[in-house]
Amino acid sequence: MSTSASFLKLIERIKPTATDLRKEASHFDSVKTRMSDAFTVRKFIEVGSFKRGTSITGKSDVDLFCVVSRDDVKWGANTKSSNTVLNKVKDEMGARFKNTPVYKDGPAVVIGFSDANVDIVPAFFSRFDGPRPLYWMPNGNGEWMETSPEAHNKYLSDADAASGGKLKNVARLMKYWCTCRSPRVPLSSFHIELVLANEGICNGVKTYAQCLRELLQSMANRECRGIQDPLRISGIVKCVKTEAQQESATRSVKASRDHAASARPYEGLNEGEAKRQWNIVFNGSFPA
């Protein structure tokens, strides 16, 4: 089997199954019901890997953006801190899912179901920026920041189309790489996809090996630092949450970049050696 065929086999292996998708829908329904009981919900927006088609089986979180009424976030003439709103979401979810871990994590409340985490991000409408609706969401420090999940979903979908459908698969491969490393590398899925789209890494006639090699090189060059949101809405989009994670992630990225580069001269000539190098990149989980 060639290196290219091994990448195609790996992509098929890590795609979400029909069971994954059914579980996602079931979790969404139960969370939406409780949120609608506790808040005046204006809309739910599915975001994250499942919505953007970049999730991997058994590993990706399920993300739900919940737009509530302004009255739900007001205290008199003032806006409540985002921590206050997150705490209410946490309390409501804890009361609904009594035997399931529920906790705050940055801008979201996480429900730790046995088969997947569901991340709930509360938000409220801010304004229109041209045709784009903007919302206020928690920034992880008690304040609010503007974002537009609908605009970002469209941006990434358009970038995937421009790549001929490769962008989503390369994002999947990178997320799978994160789970293969020991310790696991906690890269932001959103960050990975924005880097691929902003830099056009998957555009043109390229193999998956080439695309992943370029992505690893790009992240190594920036040492896993955040990037400016290409849509100029959400400011700097972090790659990881802490400095310690950044240092660890950078070491893993650079080591994998080096082995991916070592595979390049052998691809199409000595497939055994090429796949040996890629197997090191994926920590023993690359198809033979």
pLDDT bin (cut points 50, 70, 90) of residue 21 is confident
Q: Which of 149, 205, 286, 237 is nearest to 273 (CA)?
A: 286
Across the chain, mean pLDDT equals: 92
Q: Any idea which residue has 């293969």 for tokens?
A: 180
Q: Which of 234, 286, 235 is nearest to 7 (CA)?
A: 286
Crossing angle (nearest 10°) for helices 271-281 and 3-14: 30
- pLDDT at 161 (0 to 100): 97
241-268 tens-digit pLDDT:
899 999 999 999 999 999 999 999 999 9
pLDDT score of 89 more than 90? yes
27 token code pair: 């979790």
Mean pLDDT of 23-35: 84
257 token code pair: 């970049």
pLDDT bin (cut points 50, 70, 90) of residue 280 is very high
- pLDDT at 60 (0 to 100): 64
Rounded Cα distance between 264 and 59, Å, is 29
Q: What is the pTM of this model?
A: 0.89
From residue 237, give the alpha-carbon distance in Å to each of 125, 173, 176, 194, 230: 21, 20, 20, 9, 10
pLDDT score of 237 more than 70? yes
The amino acid present at 182, given as its one-letter code, is S
103-129 tens-digit pLDDT:
998 899 999 887 778 899 999 999 998
- pLDDT at 219 (0 to 100): 97
- pLDDT at 29 (0 to 100): 84
**Strand pairing partners for 120?**
64, 109
- pLDDT at 58 (0 to 100): 76
208 token code pair: 């998956």
- pLDDT at 212 (0 to 100): 98
pLDDT bin (cut points 50, 70, 90) of residue 288 is confident
- pLDDT at 196 (0 to 100): 97
pLDDT bin (cut points 50, 70, 90) of residue 275 is very high
pLDDT score of 30 more than 90? no
- pLDDT at 27 (0 to 100): 80
Mean pLDDT of 75-93: 94
34-82 tens-digit pLDDT:
899 999 999 998 887 877 888 888 766 778 899 999 999 999 889 999 9
CA 135 to chain centre: 19
